[in-house]
Structure 1
Amino acid sequence: MQIQTDSPTYTIPSGDHLISLRNRKRMDLTSVKEIERFDQEEFSVRTSQGQLQIKGEDLRIVHLDVDKGLLTLEGNVRSLNYDEDDKIGSKNLLHKLFG
């Protein structure tokens, strides 16, 4: 994957999680594993780095590539919040089962 900026082109290693936010109006995300729920005010997205809550107004999906894990949103972004408990909890459950 390549990202074009005003200057050089950056290559992002496969599997890296990256968020690009432009003027709080357009957001590009990589390493998206699942969109669990969404509406115009909130997106709940599972990424390689944990559960991500995106809150805002008039949020909508502009582009989604499930195979590559790419998501582009537009709208007025107010907040981003990672919940790592989800990631840790799943590891603990697996550890308890197979430990």
Structure 2
Amino acid sequence: MTLHQESNRYTITSGDHLVTVRNRKRMDMTSVKEIERFDQEEFYVRTSQGHLLIRGEELRIVHLDVDKGLLTLEGNVKALQYDDEENGLTKGFLHKLFG
């Protein structure tokens, strides 16, 4: 990932995936392709680096820009887990259902 500084602003090279968590209360993400499912305790997001499972309490979307792939969440973040695209939670979930 390459960050470019332009007078107190940082720009992120297009396509790079960045996750920033502030005090476990606010999370900013780039390169978000799709939010596959979510509720107040769990978000399952497809990113350019694979599926990302976010667990917590009182999670909610503060900002979503689908065109730019930006997502901001607020709530109490407890866990983050990445899974590869091919071996993600979706395959495990379907495998559990249909064996």
TM-score range (shorter-chain normalised) is: 0.7 to 0.9
Q: How does 1:1-99 map to 2 (within 5 A)?
A: 8-84=8-84, 87-88=85-86
CA distances 1:51-85 after superposition (whole Å, capped 9, x unpaired): 0000000000000000000000000000000011x
Aligned amino acid, residue 38 of structure 2: F
CA distances 1:18-61 after superposition (whole Å, capped 9, x unpaired): 00100000000000000000000000000000000000000000
* 1:88, distance to aligned residue in structure 2 (A): 3.2
TM-score between both structures, scaled by the size of structure 1: 0.78
4+ runs of 1 displaced by more than 4 Å? none
TM-score between both structures, scaled by the size of structure 2: 0.78
Aligned amino acid, residue 29 of structure 1: M
* 1:10, distance to aligned residue in structure 2 (A): 2.0
In structure 2, the residue matched to 1:93 is: none
More helix per residue? 1
Q: Could you list the runs of 5+ residues in structure 1 that have no partner in the other structure?
A: 3-7, 90-99
Q: Could you list the runs of 5+ residues in structure 2 that have no partner in the other structure?
A: 88-99
The sequence identity of aligned pairs, in percent, is 75
Q: How many equivalent residue pairs?
A: 83
* 1:9, distance to aligned residue in structure 2 (A): 2.8
